[in-house]
Structure 1
């Protein structure tokens, strides 16, 4: 990265229409897996003014009230009252139920090598995992800052009643010598409700309630040269699905690395753990993080390439952007020796079905991942953020 480059990453609050769809989709996946750990399910969602559309295709011994689940997620995001309302929005569903025989094998099959080898990828996928030493979570600095701002913005609604549920944050970081050196810009785009104060008063309130506490202790710090923008595109009244539509899987950069690295073109949310484009993205992040944690490189991208009908990825690639302390081919060799990237082996290592099956009904396992990023989530103790395997790579 050239000196002076400003990398800008964004995050959004749970009330953003795209994230609302991601949360509904993942809440449905949680519900299917809570009732049937062997379930297969794909759930996609779209929202617009007064309308929610849910498409579900599943094989499961489960009964899930998709409209009721969607209304709960919408209400939790803050949409109760004027405009888009969880209680009165129209919910349309398209449901395709597959035979129970299409469910995944019993968990005991994960102990059988022949069964693991037979559990092939059912989609083609190029997935990418990334890690760097810019932050303690080994995530890029801009996306970490953007997520911190989004969390604080949503939390501030408790004290600033004129804030709507829909919000977007951006953080722009200047890089010098390949390292984050300065926080150049902070931007908030906030939906406002009745009683919104004048612009300058609003900016001061958001700086005190959101920006300063969110960024305290993070690097690079908020400084005198940091430009702060609030609703720079003009007034943003109401917001949410009443203003702009939403769709599952449209925020891949937010879900992963904030455009600091490549990510798959496929969505993560709304898919059960049999989908290789979801679980292999976690496995690739896990591998890249362990490479950096092991001190083999300061930056690492792991690529896994899958084709339909094969269990093992046809390609395992490593790119360290000139920061490797060991030859990249040697790092790839060590990854092959230490990690099994077959779909069933990833499930055995991470235990995602068992985690979702045992998760709290209200919280779920996948639903919390649908906002504030699916990578770097050390707050959720997800297995792909563990670096216990880093020692084996040294």
Structure 2
């Protein structure tokens, strides 16, 4: 295992077109599940200059979801209000298909016996990954943790009118140097912030403002801070004017690395947003993170990657693999045995343990939409069931 290296991860704000699409898709999932916890909904979104396209396939006992209204609410909340793109004047096209009635998903997981859980199989195939490491208190890799913090801070100074000239679109990237496989120093910081007009403020003022209100506050309480040699790039290509869908298009599910571990670890090729909890390619990623995090929290390893492979027609993963990259206190095979004994990786078992169908109704403002920006894992601002470390005793 390489010990000395440099690794970069990126994040984007909620106004990035891809993230805007993720939020619209997950807001629609929330709305369906709030009305009918047993609804099936798969939805994708694409956005470009002045136009949004929503494709959805759904089955529900209620059909009161106004897709266009949900989209406009998200656009307004994200903060797009200029003439190039805003909630009132953008065109929204939809392609909606109501699925034929099926009893497959109409089970109440709270009342199922173990035998009944075993009979509920997955209906799509996927290999998902979960990861955890002890680089941060959230047990996430430091590069993606810092990239998310920077992106969130850009949105914060915009929404609080500290830098009112910023628009919702922004990007961040953090390069971290590792020494003996531990974060050693900050190699580089890149921030791309979109502004409304090229002359207000002047470019140098923008750079100074970003340093003072975004970069410095983010690193204030971090153990690894920028040093005199850290390379800081703020809009290195010059002013980024307006940004958003007026500048570049967006698509649901195009930011999988940002949604997970910043490519420090593997991630599935399947999108996480826009899917109800019956989709194992979404909820399988959550249970894999839960397993990996509990292993690291139990100090069985400094790093842990879990791989779960699911096949159509089976309830359990056909393969459970553990990789601790040489940091495990016991053999990876022994950890795998403990996982299979104490963790339920079956679809209905995951839905039951995490209460995934009912969280949109129990969470103010919806649940899944909050995951669609700044990561589905490693979140400390939302109480996520897969971020709990309540299984450490089994190890």
Inter-partner Cα distance in structure 1 for 2:297 and 2:238: 43
Moved over 6 A (4+): none
Residue pair 1:40, 1:103 contacting (<8 A) in 2 also: no
Q: Does 1:201 align with 2:205?
A: yes
Instruction: Give the drift of 1:3.
Output: 4.5
Residue pair 2:128, 2:285 contacting (<8 A) in 1 also: yes
Q: How does 1:319-338 map to 2 (within 5 A)?
A: 319-338=323-342
Inter-partner Cα distance in structure 2 for 1:55 and 1:115: 33
Residue pair 2:315, 2:346 contacting (<8 A) in 1 also: yes
Q: Give 3-state SS (helix, strand or coil) of 2:102's partner.
A: helix
If the length of structure 2 is used for normalisation, what is the TM-score? 0.96
Instruction: Give the drift of 1:101.
Output: 3.1
Inter-partner Cα distance in structure 2 for 1:365 and 1:311: 26
Q: How does 1:221-236 map to 2 (within 5 A)?
A: 221-236=225-240
Inter-partner Cα distance in structure 1 for 2:314 and 2:147: 38
Inter-partner Cα distance in structure 2 for 1:253 and 1:97: 31
Instruction: Give the drift of 1:4.
Output: 4.2
Residue pair 2:166, 2:196 contacting (<8 A) in 1 also: yes
Instruction: Give the drift of 1:358.
Output: 2.5
Query: In the alignment, which residue of structure 1 is the partner of 2:113?
Result: 112
Instruction: Give the drift of 1:273.
Output: 0.3
Q: Does 1:54 align with 2:54?
A: yes
Q: Give 3-state SS (helix, strand or coil) of 1:346's partner.
A: helix
Q: CA RMSD in A?
A: 1.3
1:170 to 165, 168, 173: 173
Q: Give 3-state SS (helix, strand or coil) of 1:74's partner.
A: helix
Query: In the alignment, which residue of structure 2 is the partner of 1:13?
Result: 13
Q: How does 1:84-233 map to 2 (within 5 A)?
A: 84-102=85-103, 104-107=105-108, 110-157=111-158, 158-194=161-197, 195-233=199-237
Residue pair 1:110, 1:348 contacting (<8 A) in 2 also: no
Inter-partner Cα distance in structure 2 for 1:381 and 1:370: 15
Residue pair 1:121, 1:311 contacting (<8 A) in 2 also: yes
Instruction: Give the drift of 1:340.
Output: 1.1
Inter-partner Cα distance in structure 1 for 2:128 and 2:305: 10
Instruction: Give the drift of 1:207.
Output: 0.5
Q: Give 3-state SS (helix, strand or coil) of 2:241's partner.
A: coil
Query: In the alignment, which residue of structure 1 is the partner of 2:292?
Result: 288
Q: How does 1:32-47 map to 2 (within 5 A)?
A: 32-47=32-47
Unaligned runs of 5+ in 2: none
2:380 to 373, 378, 381: 378
Q: Give 3-state SS (helix, strand or coil) of 1:357's partner.
A: helix
Instruction: Give the drift of 1:31.
Output: 0.3
If the length of structure 1 is used for normalisation, what is the TM-score? 0.97
Instruction: Give the drift of 1:266.
Output: 0.2
